[in-house]
Amino acid sequence: MLALIAKALLSGALIVAIAEIGKRQPGFAALVASLPLVSILGMVLLWSGRPDAENMAHHAEATFWYVLPSLPMFLLIPVLLRSGVSFWVALVAGCALTIALYLGLMALGPRLGLRL
């Protein structure tokens, strides 16, 4: 239980740090947010809980494929914001696009031989 609390606190601290950096240096905060820190932390924790090379390889490969559908969100949101759309509407639209692309990948990926 203590390990779970520590993981949650570390994850929360990372999010807070990015938000605080973003108040002063949005570009640098974006760089920190774009680093695969959560993925790396997740892989370290997964490995410590189940040190299985094939399981880790599958996890890392699936993570790569799931990152791709999330990228268009980061183009749609600024376009909408600059067009006068409110932040919350732009965020919901970006999330909806990402969900639709995730579903598309989940449907199409196995047909292309991707292990997701």
* N- to C-terminal Cα separation, the chain: 29
Q: How far apart are CA 112 and CA 12, in angstroms?
A: 36
Indicate the number of domains in the chain: 1
**Model confidence, pTM:** 0.78
Q: What pLDDT does 116 receive?
A: 84
The answer to the question of residue 38 being in a domain is no
44 lies in a domain?
no
Domain presence at residue 26: no
Give me the domain span that covers residue 67: 53-116
Please report whether residue 74 resides in a domain. Answer: yes
Task: Please name the amino acid found at residue 74.
Answer: F
In a domain, 80, yes or no: yes
> Exposed, middle or buried, 39 (CB in 10 Å: 0-12/13-18/19+)?
middle
| pLDDT tens sequence across 52-89 | 999 999 999 999 999 999 999 999 999 999 999 999 99
